[in-house]
């Protein structure tokens, strides 16, 4: 048994597994949802050593834990460990929400993509239908958002990535879901896209974490472009600042996506959808 996992057997126990995990907002978000819905639970953030994911999940199950959220760097490990996957987890190769049945079968789903879509469409009224979308990056989170983005029937999705082969691979995997192309950052300013702007640009790289920008031309942003950084922080991210300076119509960070993906997980576990708007406001320190 793993000594870091000490669940309270008198409560329903949930946790988020990640590494690092100390800045996770998930315990606060799930506690606020639970309070809103009159549900009593214990939700912990647990730092899992990078080589011990399976042992930690097993220990959590042995102690009758009810559900897990999974974050960096374990979404792929969670995908491999699950016995039963939702269709959307299957195609995304990623799992961020886990639960169990009485025979200890492990179920996995990914709610990241739905979280992004809810934040864009419901919270921020960004229409994706027949729109051109530029995605920067081709990592795990981009793979998780592609299918739900395609379901909104955009005119076109262009994936640009430093390692072009990864963008090409994603475009291939999702080729039956929509009109998806892959390219390098340089291609955006040169041969492929000339001077045209996109309706929506999603930064799915981890560059903002290090205060760096993807090297894309200004011409990709017009005065009707919405720019969305999947990253969030207490301040405007460097990508948001740059996009505003280029005249973007709207700039958003990923905090709304974080709360929305948590709400979808909460609904899977508890069968009730929480109200996300007051929780987003509370996390942004805006009076509710
Ligand atoms: P991955 O590590 O899977 O992917 C990272 C991406 O960033 C890759 O496309 C990688 O390109 C690119 N990248 C990294 N360094 C550089 C660099 N120096 N120059 C150019 N490109 C670079 O990360 P995730 O997909 O898991 O996460 C991406 C972002 O999304 C993170 O900021 C994360 O915090 C955020 N996120 C937010 C969520 C939310 O709820 N708001 C949920 C999930 C993620 P390459 O392929 O060439 O290496």
By most ligand atoms within 8 Å of CB, the mutation choice from 24, 140, 141 for ligand 1 is 141
Q: How confident is the model at residue 73 (pLDDT cuts 50, 70, 90)?
A: very high
Q: Is 99 helix (H, G, I), strand (E, B) or coil?
A: strand
Q: What is the mean pLDDT of residues 107-115?
A: 98
* Ligand 1 contacts CB of residue 25 (under 6 A): no
Tell whether ligand 1 has an atom less than 6 A from the beta carbon of residue 257.
yes
- Predicted pLDDT of residue 7: 92
pLDDT of residue 249: 97
Nearest CA to ligand 1 atom 48: 163
- Can you give the pLDDT at residue 130? 97
**For residue 190, pLDDT beyond 70:** no
User: What's residue 214's pLDDT?
Assistant: 95
Domain formed by 113-253, architecture: 3-Layer(aba) Sandwich (3.40)
Contact at 8 Å (CB) between 67 and 269? yes
Which residues have a Cβ under 8 Å from the Cβ of 181 and sit 6 or more positions away? Answer: 156, 157, 158, 159, 171, 192
Structure tokens, 134: 């530029």
Which ligand 1 atom sits nearest the alpha carbon of residue 138? 9
Q: Does 256 score more than 70 pLDDT?
A: yes
Ligand 1 atom nearest to CA at 72: 26
pLDDT greater than 80 at residue 52: yes
**Residue 270, pLDDT above cutoff 80:** yes
Q: Where in the chain is the domain with CATH 3.40.50.10860?
A: 13-110+257-283
Please indicate whether residue 3 or residue 134 has the higher confidence score (pLDDT). 134
Distance 35 CA to ligand 1 centre (A): 33
**CB neighbourhood size of 176 (10 A):** 8
* Over residues 159-166, mean pLDDT: 97
- The pLDDT of residue 193 is above 80: no
Binding site membership of 113 for ligand 1 (Cβ less than 6 Å): no
Mean pLDDT, range 152-176, rounded to an integer: 97
List the one residue out of 199, 87, 205, 192 whose CA is nearest residue 152: 199
Q: Which is catalytic among the residues 75, 172, 191, 241? A: 75
Taking the chain, what is the end-to-end CA distance rounded to the nearest angstrom?
A: 42
Question: Residue 145: pLDDT above 80?
Answer: yes
Told to judge if 153 belongs to the known catalytic residues of this protein, a careful annotator would answer no
In the prediction, which pLDDT does 176 show?
A: 96
**Mean pLDDT in residue range 126-140:** 96
Place of tokens 């220990």: 59
Predicted structure pTM score:
0.96
pLDDT for 191: 60
Query: pLDDT at residue 287 above 90?
Result: no
CA distance 203 to 253: 9
What's domain 13-110+257-283's architecture? 3-Layer(aba) Sandwich (3.40)
Delimit the CATH 3.40.50.720 region(s) of the chain.
113-253
Whether the predicted pLDDT of 126 surpasses 70 = yes
pLDDT reported for residue 189: 82
pLDDT at 195 over 70: no
CA of 209 to the centre of ligand 1 (A): 9
Integer Cα distance of 55 and 267 in angstroms = 26
Segment 81-104 shows an average pLDDT of 96
Q: Is the pLDDT of residue 194 over 70?
A: no
Average pLDDT of every residue of the chain: 95
């Amino acid at each position: 048994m793993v000594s870091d996992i000490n669940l309270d057997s008198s409560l329903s126990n949930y946790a988020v597994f990640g590494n690092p995990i100390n800045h996770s907002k998930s315990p606060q978000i799930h506690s606020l949802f639970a309070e809103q819905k009159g549900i009593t639970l214990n939700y912990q953030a647990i730092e899992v050593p990078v080589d011990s994911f399976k042992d930690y999940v097993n220990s959590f199950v042995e102690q009758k834990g009810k559900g897990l959220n999974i974050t960096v760097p374990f979404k792929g490990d969670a995908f491999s460990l699950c016995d039963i996957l939702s269709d959307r987890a299957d195609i995304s190769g990623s799992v961020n929400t886990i639960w169990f049945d009485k025979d200890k079968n492990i179920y996995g789903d990914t709610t990241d993509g739905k979280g992004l879509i809810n934040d864009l469409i419901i919270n921020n009224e960004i229409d994706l239908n027949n729109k051109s979308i530029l995605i920067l990056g081709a990592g795990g989170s981009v793979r998780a958002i592609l299918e739900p983005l395609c379901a909104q029937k955009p005119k076109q999705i262009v994936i640009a990535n430093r390692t072009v082969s990864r963008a090409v691979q994603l475009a291939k995997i999702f080729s039956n879901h929509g009109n998806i192309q892959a390219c390098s950052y340089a291609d955006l300013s040169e041969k492929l896209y000339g001077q045209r702007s996109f309706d929506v640009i999603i930064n799915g790289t981890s560059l903002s974490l290090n205060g760096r920008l993807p090297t894309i031309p200004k011409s990709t942003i017009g005065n009707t472009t919405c720019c969305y950084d999947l990253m969030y922080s207490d301040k405007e991210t460097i990508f948001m600042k740059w996009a505003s300076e280029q005249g973007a119509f709207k700039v958003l960070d990923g905090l709304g996506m974080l709360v929305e993906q948590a709400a979808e997980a909460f609904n899977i576990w508890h069968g009730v959808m929480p109200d996300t708007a007051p929780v987003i406001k509370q996390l942004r320190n805006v009076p509710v």
